Amino acid sequence: MAKLEKLLENLIEFEVLESHFPTEVKGITYDSRQVKPGYIFVCIQGFQKDGHDFIEDAIGNGARVIVIEKDVPRKPGITYIKVKDSRDALSRLSEAYYDFASRKLNLIGVTGTNGKTTTTYMIESILRKANIKTGLIGTIRNKICDEVFPAKRTTPESSDLQELFARMVKAGVTHTVMEVSSHALELKRVQNFNFKVGVFTNITQDHLDFHTTLENYRQAKSKLFQALTLDGVGVINIDDPSGEYMIERCKGRVLTYGINNKHAEIRGSEIKVNVNGVSYHVTTPVGEIRLKLKLTGYFNVYNSLAAIGSGLALNIPLEIIKEGLESLTGVTGRFEQVDCGQNFGVIVDYAHTPDGMENILKTAQQIARGRKIIVFGCGGDRDRGKRPIMGKIAAKYCDLCILTSDNPRTEDPMQILRDIEKGLLELDQPVNYRIIEDRREAIFYAVREARENDLVIIMGKGHETYQIFKDYTIPFDDREVAKEAIMSL
Ligand X SMILES: CC(=O)N[C@H]1[C@@H](OP(=O)(O)OP(=O)(O)OC[C@H]2O[C@@H](n3ccc(=O)[nH]c3=O)[C@H](O)[C@@H]2O)O[C@H](CO)[C@@H](O)[C@@H]1O[C@H](C)C(=O)N[C@@H](C)C(=O)N[C@H](CCC(=O)O)C(=O)O
Ligand Y SMILES: Nc1ncnc2c1ncn2[C@@H]1O[C@H](COP(=O)(O)OP(=O)(O)OP(=O)(O)O)[C@@H](O)[C@H]1O
Ligand Z SMILES: N[C@H](CCC[C@H](N)C(=O)O)C(=O)O
Binding segment (CB under 6 A) for ligand X, from list 44-52, 165-173, 400-408, 461-469: 44-52
183 binds, among ligand Z, ligand Y, ligand X, none (CB under 5 to 8 A by kind): ligand X
Q: Which is closer to ligand X, CB of 159 or CB of 342?
A: 159
> Which has the closest alpha carbon to 302: 354, 356, 250, 347?
356
First-last CA distance in the chain: 59
Contact (Cβ atoms closer than 8 angstroms) between residue 20 and residue 46? no
Residue 331 is classified by DSSP as B
**Residue 407 interacting with Mg ion (CB under 5 A):** no
Count the residues in the chain. Answer: 489
Closest CA to 274 of 184, 365, 196, 357: 365
* Distance (Å) of CA 431 to CA 360, 425, 460: 19, 7, 21
Span near ligand X by CB under 6 A; candidates 148-156, 246-254, 270-278, 450-458? 148-156
Contact pattern from residue 432 through residue 471 relative to ligand X, giving x for each residue in contact according to CB under 6 A and a dash for the rest: ----------------------------------------
Cis peptide before 22 (omega within 30 of 0): yes
Helix (H, G, I), strand (E, B) or coil at 236: strand
Question: Given the complex with ligand Z, which of 115 and 258 has the nearer CB atom?
Answer: 115
Q: Compute the Cα dihedral for 411, 412, 416, 419 and give only its sign.
A: negative
Q: Does 406 bind ligand Y (CB under 6 A)?
A: no
Three-state SS for 365-419 is HHHCCCCEEEEECCCCCCCCCHHHHHHHHHHHHCCEEEECCCCCCCCCHHHHHHH
Question: Does the footprint of Mg ion cover residue 91 (CB under 5 A)?
Answer: no
155 is in an annotated binding site: yes
183 binds ligand X (CB under 6 A): yes
The answer to the question of whether 464 is labelled as a binding residue is yes
Least separation in angstroms between CB 485 and ligand X: 28
351 lies in the site for ligand Y, by CB under 6 A: yes
Q: Which residues of 121-157 are buried (b: 16+ CB within 10 A; e: fewer)?
A: bbbbbbbbbbebebbbbbbbebbbeeeeeebeebbbb
> What is the gyration radius of the CA atoms in the chain, in angstroms?
24
Nearer to ligand Y, 201 or 405 (CB): 201
| Residue 256 contacts ligand Z per CB under 6 A | no
Q: Could you say which of ligand Z, ligand X, Mg ion, none residue 117 binds, taking C-beta under 5 to 8 angstroms by partner kind?
A: Mg ion
Q: Which residues bind ligand Z (CB under 6 A)?
A: 139, 154, 352, 379, 382, 406-407, 460-461, 464
Q: Which residues bind ligand Y (CB under 6 A)?
A: 114-118, 139, 154, 179, 201-202, 299, 302-303, 334, 349-351, 355-356, 359-360, 462
Q: Which residues are annotated as a binding site?
A: 32, 112-118, 154-155, 181, 189, 382, 406-409, 460, 464
Q: Which residues are annotated as a binding site for meso-2,6-diaminopimelate?
A: 382, 406-409, 460, 464
Q: Which residues bind Mg ion (CB under 5 A)?
A: 116-117, 139, 154, 179
